[in-house]
Amino acid sequence: MVSAVGVSAAACSDDSASSVTLKLVAADYGDPGGENGSQKYWDALARDFTQLNSGITIDVTVLSWNDVDAKVAEMVKAGDPPDIAQIGSYASYADQDLLYSAGDLLPIPVQADFLPTLAAAGEVHRMQYGLPFAASTRLLFYNKDLFTEAGLDPDKPPESWNELRDAARALKATGVKHPYGLPLGPEEAPAETMMWMLGDGGGYTDTGGSYIIDSADNIEAFNWLRDNLINADLTGPNPEKTDRQQVFDAFTRGEVGMLNGHPTLMQQAAREDVKYGTTELPGRGGAASSTMGVADWIMAFKKNGHRKEIGEFLAFAFSEKNHYDFVSRYDLLPVTTSGSERMRGDSEQRKLRKFLEQLPTAEFYPVGKVSWGEVSSDIKQRIGEVVAPDGDPARVLGSIQRAAETAESSSGS
């Protein structure tokens, strides 16, 4: 029973026996104010929890992704953080000793249910502070009708970079505006960059956690991208200024032949009756060895001292039923083993299985590094330089690497 899980949550000396109101700030995954807005989910969850735990009230504020991280940062700076925040990053707060750890909050069975790769991604200084809340992975999407018109087999998507290039050439020959959609604008730059790095066996960090942004593999990947797609005019105009949503919208208008996408694009394409296929991300010699994973996080601030009550609510939120209810309504992936097993057996979620299969081995941003926020921002501002007429990946990646090393040294992470 869920209530039993709550009772087993860890207690400590700063817990209050009196009635408690927990402030929760969360991100909106739906249409604000619409039928699928996240406010309705959280209100229902809070109501159900309070019925089982009459001494605890949950005060929920749901904000758009454009505002939620900045709002929580303002609250923290003002000395009035929420008890619980469901946002995009946690490392800087953990580094300032503002957060409870997972072990402070959750009983062992709840902690053990997190997928190991995601639990590890939530660590700062080898302690888990970020609780994964929802996840996604990436696949290559392609427009089957455009493939057919270009004389390409719609059931045989490209498996390697060379096959992707050849398909892009065929699409261009039939007048497709964006044979390959390349969003290197600020919104998506870190993700698109990472996917191309993974395609050549590279990435942002090595197995020891050190930045390797200017590694030989990464430079080679961007040299190939520049020479084979960008300079060949197979990506459409101004990729350095193109954001992810622009490419998604163009895909649903039939203007993009191929692009890297996450599960949300399925909903958007279905609304516009776009016939699409998905496949593993292409790599240099075949399918990439791994894909990129993205996780959003939930965390608990220590300021108000409600550890026991926060732990009870989070254990309730991560119960199989409640967690699955959230991720399934937004085409997201569960972050727990129990939720993943349920999704594999859910016939209504067949379209997500390709994404789900990749989650255990996906590579994530190095979000546990305190320096990552600064490095990510630098990538957003600088990576577009590789697509300039005289773009030099070695120079650009080398500059970003040096800045990353400086940020790493300053942060002490």
Angle at 192 between CA 128 and CA 236, to 5 degrees: 165
- What would you report as the CA-atom Rg of the chain, rounded to the nearest whole angstrom? 22
For the chain, what is the mean pLDDT? 92
For 187-226, write each residue's pLDDT tens digit.
779 999 999 999 999 999 999 999 999 999 999 999 999 9
Pick the most confident of 16-20, 163-167, 267-271: 163-167
Check the CA dihedral 199-203-207-213 and report its sign: positive
What is the DSSP code (8-state) at residue 177? S
d(CA 192, CA 324): 28
pTM beyond 0.75: yes
End-to-end CA distance of the chain: 40
* Over residues 356-365, mean pLDDT: 92
Concatenating the DSSP letter of every residue in 184-209 gives -STTTHHHHHHHHHHTTT--SB-TTS
User: How long a stretch of residues is the chain?
Assistant: 413
What are the pLDDT digits (tens) for 151-163?
999 999 999 999 9
3-state secondary structure of 282: strand
Q: How far apart are CA 166 and CA 155, in angstroms?
A: 16
Closest among 100, 40, 155, 95 to 370, alpha carbons compared: 95
Per the listing, tokens 């995954």 go with: 29
Domain boundaries, the chain: 10-137+294-364, 139-290+369-411
More confident of the two residues 4 and 206: 206
C-alpha distances out from residue 250 to 143, 147, 155, 243, 247, Å: 11, 16, 22, 11, 5
CATH superfamily entry for domain 139-290+369-411: Periplasmic binding protein-like II (3.40.190.10)
What pLDDT does residue 146 have?
98
- pLDDT tens-digit map of 297-332: 999 999 999 999 999 999 999 999 999 999 999 989
Q: Tokens 């996604």 appear where? A: 136
At the topology level, CATH places domain 10-137+294-364 in D-Maltodextrin-Binding Protein; domain 2 (3.40.190)
Residue pointed to by tokens 């096959």: 163
